[in-house]
Structure 1
Amino acid sequence: MLKLLRFIYHLPNFLKLAWRLFWDPRVPVYLKFIPLIFGAISVIFFALYYIMPVDFWPDFLPLGRLDDPTVPILIIFIPGLYIFAKACPREIVLEHAERIDEERRSRKIFFRF
């Protein structure tokens, strides 16, 4: 349960990191195909669900038709972004991660007592 909460807490920063890495010109173009491929596969699963709405897994949360399409995104696309971030040059990843952390800290100054 704690790992899930930690994952949810860090997910926005991770998505920001992947977005910045994708648009950074220093990242090789061939690496940028990783999130595109995983995103395309995720969209295909999403579309197939609406063409053929079969309940592939039991409903843990009673969200109706919203929970099944989100699972391919979490199972396919997010790990694809992780693979992309791991494949990118380490110094570029660290540079963007530090900038995101600095931005996060500068926003929280307002809320500190």
Structure 2
Amino acid sequence: MGDGKLVGIVLVSHSATVAESVAELAKGLAGGGVAVPVAAAGGRPDGGLGTSAELVSAAAASVDRGAGVAVLTDLGSAVLTVKALLAEGDELPEDTRLVDAPFVEGAVAAVVTAA
């Protein structure tokens, strides 16, 4: 995109370690192209396992570069968390989409495509 706008990518996992590792893997496999904005939103604010609407919302805001945000999730309740935020209408950046794809493969494909 020549206008400087980029699609941001948020990886939502029940584990902060998993989300961060998948983000690192996807960015590493994308090579040296455009620096795609990717954020991990894993676990709960207290560091435990689970999902957090607050972490997802903050991650989406941090990667919003004007061309939308793609959100990928690992398991069922992560999907429900994102769907609830989307239903609120004002919790996520405009043009945020929940992507129905395998977590690791989808993350790699999204980052490589966006780069």
TM-score, normalised via structure 2 length: 0.29
Structure with bigger strand share is 2
Structure with bigger helix share is 1
Q: Which has the larger radius of gyration?
A: 1
Bigger relative CO (Cα 8 Å, ≥ 6 apart): 1
TM-score, normalised via structure 1 length: 0.29
